Amino acid sequence: MRHQVWPSDEDLWSSIAAGDEAAFGRLFDRYSRPVYNHAFRLTGSWSTAEDVTQATFLVAWRRRHNARLVDGSALPWLLVVTTNAVRTEWRSGRRWLALLRRLPAERYADGDLADEVSARLDDERRMAEVLEVVRRLPPAEREAVALCLWSGVSYPDAAAVLGISEVAVRSRVSRARSRLARLMPDEIQEGKR
């Protein structure tokens, strides 16, 4: 059973489609945290998650006439937009790294990069370890894990957004759980407990 909020997402989206920026601000306030958390779970980086959240809501505003609400909620659609924004970020990152690799190496006057790496947040390190394992899953299973397990989207809502049956979503999540249990390094599983 869903908790009803006022105005509903359908009412807000109707106003947003008409160009109401204040309604879009309310939608942002309502869903920026879940979108940000979803982006962090996909990227393992707080700063990248912030960039992806901004990109998600920019796309949402630009595509406000094409939004697909699921059972009256905008969240599943926003999470799919977030997933696509992460993919775009990865592609951009790969192109950027390819460009940097063509440049001559610089010498670091203030020490080496190990000092900077050791200063990273512990949660980013652990999330990167988890992502390394999750990225071994087939794309369909990764998407099901991100939507249903990490972001708490219900199976029916995920099925509606992905355009597949609920049984298919449940199957993808089940297969992903089995694979992850085999692939997860012991230290990640111990940290998870």
**2 assigned to some structural domain:** no
**60 assigned to some structural domain:** yes
Query: DSSP assignment, residue 121?
Result: -
pLDDT at 106: 62
**97 assigned to some structural domain:** yes
pLDDT at 175: 93
**4 assigned to some structural domain:** no
**123 assigned to some structural domain:** yes
Token pair 């990109």: residue: 55
Query: Within the chain, which residues score under 50 in pLDDT?
Result: 1, 187-188, 191, 193
Question: What's the number of domains the chain is made of?
Answer: 1
| Spatial contact of 133 and 185, defined as CB atoms under 8 Å apart | yes
Please give the Cα distance from 106 to 116 (Å, whole number): 16
> Could you read off the pLDDT of 159-183 as tens digits, one per residue?
998 999 999 999 999 999 998 888 8
**3 assigned to some structural domain:** no
Please give the Cα distance from 147 to 145 (Å, whole number): 6
Tally Cβ neighbours within 10 Å of residue 139: 9
**152 assigned to some structural domain:** yes
Q: pTM for the complete prediction?
A: 0.60
Please give the Cα distance from 75 to 29 (Å, whole number): 12
| Spatial contact of 157 and 191, defined as CB atoms under 8 Å apart | no
Q: How many CA atoms lie within 13 A of 64 on its CB side?
A: 20
Which domain range does residue 73 map to?
A: 9-192
pLDDT at 85: 93
**CATH code, domain with 32:** 1.10.1740.10
pLDDT at 122: 64
**1 assigned to some structural domain:** no
